[in-house]
Amino acid sequence: MTTRLFMVFLSCIGGLMMGLFLSNKTKNREKYFADLLNLVDRLISDISYLQDPAIKIISSFETKSIHFKKNIDEYLEFTNGGKFNFSNTILNKREAGIINDFFNRLGTLDYETQINELNSKKMLFIQMYDGANKKNKNFGKAFIKLGFLGGLLVGIMIL
């Protein structure tokens, strides 16, 4: 009997871990887009007032998202003569294409055109952030609960 209860406990833990994984994925997407919007805001303000080059602004940018930090490091390597390899683990193809285009065009235009480009991209990024935020609020906690209940269901079926 204790073995069966232990199996129920393990299946609940397994389901909970799956729920936490899915919840964390939605939270990471939200953090990614929040950092992206912060970077765009900083680029717009620093380019328009200080006229700093984009590489200087990006190299000093602090981020909370490890996925976005990885993309920034890839961009910095690209500007130092490397090849731009955009790694994508949490974005869909459409979002990844837009962000890849953003990084490829960054720093290649004059100041006024760059600011106009950043403002237009900012509108797209706001929509992406709103979608990720809404999905995180709607499904973040639900993934954890459903994972636990799924694990409990498997555990009961084992009994």
Q: What is the pLDDT of residues 40-66, one digit of tens each?
A: 999 998 888 877 788 888 888 999 899
**Alpha carbon distance 12, 153 (integer Å):** 8
What residue numbers bound the domain in which 91 lies?
A: 2-158
1 has a pLDDT exceeding 80: no
**Alpha carbon distance 78, 126 (integer Å):** 26
Of the pLDDT bands very low, low, confident and very high (cuts 50, 70, 90), residue 2 is confident
**Alpha carbon distance 140, 75 (integer Å):** 30
pTM for the full predicted model: 0.85
Beta-strand ranges (E) seen in 49-121 are none
> Domain count of the chain?
1
Residues 6+ apart with CB under 8 A from 156: 8
83 has a pLDDT exceeding 70: no
Q: Rounded mean pLDDT of 91-119?
A: 87
Residues 6+ apart with CB under 8 A from 149: 15
